């Protein structure tokens, strides 16, 4: 039985869930790009979680630690200059913006699935990416003191 | 619900797909509401964000309770998300198992630290 199944299925295309190696050779239409970046942004925040809690801790515990928090970004910390810490913060800003906005898109799609079309998916994915990058630029400029 | 114990216990499949799918969305709403709530108080304040303003946001009891719920929601939300990533891209079971254990320990540690910070305010 299993032999027949094997011999008949050899010519058929095999669809499997993608693995790490196929990520590079994969075609990336806008909707899948938004989805992929949703995962990437989530993973970034997962690995930077101790940094986020460190920021929560130092910024809120006391006025002295609040000053230490500000100094880390203005002067530096652990031998790493402040602007590099700001870059990490900018990465976090992009990650939370993308995850938040793409998440809103997912929630809307889950609750309005009968309205969702291929075009809608592509257009809203483009909107998510453009909105995220624009807001990242605006907040990044604020972070680096451009205005 | 049908009987799911003894000789009737379901032994195949995970059967937690719907629960995790739904709880990831429910926790997402909790987290998004919290982000908007905190951001709004920062954005609609005048001048540079001072320590008084920032710590004042978290001083109310209802805000502390909400923040605690947010930490727990974050824990579960991130666990479901990271497990999805590991299940999709990490195929060797031994490696995946180690990563799952790492994710749980990492998240438990982070959640504990966050609650510790919150409860001494």
| Mean pLDDT to the nearest integer, A78-87 | 88
Check pLDDT > 70 for residue A79: yes
pTM above 0.90, yes or no: no
Average pLDDT over chain A, rounded to an integer: 85
Contact criterion met (CB below 8 Å) for B85 and A29: no
Would you call B117 and A96 a contact, using CB atoms and an 8 Å cutoff? no
Give the distance from CA A31 to its chain's centroid: 14
Class of A34-47+81-143 in CATH: mainly alpha
Under an 8 Å CB criterion, which residues of A touch B? 17-20, 23, 39, 42-43, 45-46, 49-50, 53, 56-57, 59-61, 63, 66, 96, 100, 103-104, 106-107, 110
**CATH architecture label of B6-119:** Up-down Bundle (1.20)
Of A49, A104, A106, the CB nearest to B110: A49
* Predicted ipTM of the assembly: 0.84
For the segment B83-94, what is each residue's pLDDT rounded down to a tens digit?
999 988 888 889
Calpha distance A40→B88 (Å, rounded):
13
pLDDT of A1: 43
pLDDT of B11: 61
The CA distance from A146 to the nearest CA of chain B, in Å, is: 15
The CA distance from A26 to the nearest CA of chain B, in Å, is: 14
Residue A113 vs residue A93, higher pLDDT: A93
Bridge partners of A77, per DSSP, are: A80
């Amino acid at each position: 039985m299993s032999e027949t199944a094997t011999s008949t299925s050899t010519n058929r295309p095999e669809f499997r869930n993608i693995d790490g190696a196929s990520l590079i050779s994969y075609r990336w239409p806008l909707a899948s790009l938004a989805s992929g970046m949703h995962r990437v942004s989530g993973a970034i925040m997962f690995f930077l979680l101790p940094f986020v809690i460190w920021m929560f801790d130092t910024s809120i515990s006391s006025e002295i630690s609040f000053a230490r928090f500000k100094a880390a970004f203005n002067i530096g910390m652990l031998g790493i200059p402040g602007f590099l810490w700001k870059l990490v913060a900018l990465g976090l800003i992009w990650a939370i913006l993308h995850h938040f906005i793409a998440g809103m898109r997912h929630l809307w799609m889950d609750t309005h699935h009968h309205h969702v079309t291929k075009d809608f998916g592509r257009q809203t994915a483009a909107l998510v990416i453009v909105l995220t990058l624009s807001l990242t630029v605006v907040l990044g400029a604020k972070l680096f003191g451009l205005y | 619900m049908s009987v799911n114990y003894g000789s009737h216990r379901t032994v195949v499949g995970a059967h937690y797909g719907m629960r995790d799918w739904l709880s990831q969305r429910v926790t997402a709403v909790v987290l998004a509401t919290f982000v908007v709530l905190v951001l709004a108080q920062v954005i609609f304040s005048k001048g540079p964000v001072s320590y008084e303003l920032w710590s004042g946001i978290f001083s109310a009891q209802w805000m502390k309770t909400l923040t605690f719920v947010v930490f727990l929601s974050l824990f579960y939300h991130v666990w479901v998300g990271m497990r999805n990533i590991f299940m999709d891209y990490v195929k060797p079971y031994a490696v995946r198992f180690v990563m799952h254990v790492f994710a749980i320990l990492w998240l438990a540690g982070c959640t504990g630290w966050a609650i510790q910070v919150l409860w001494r305010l």
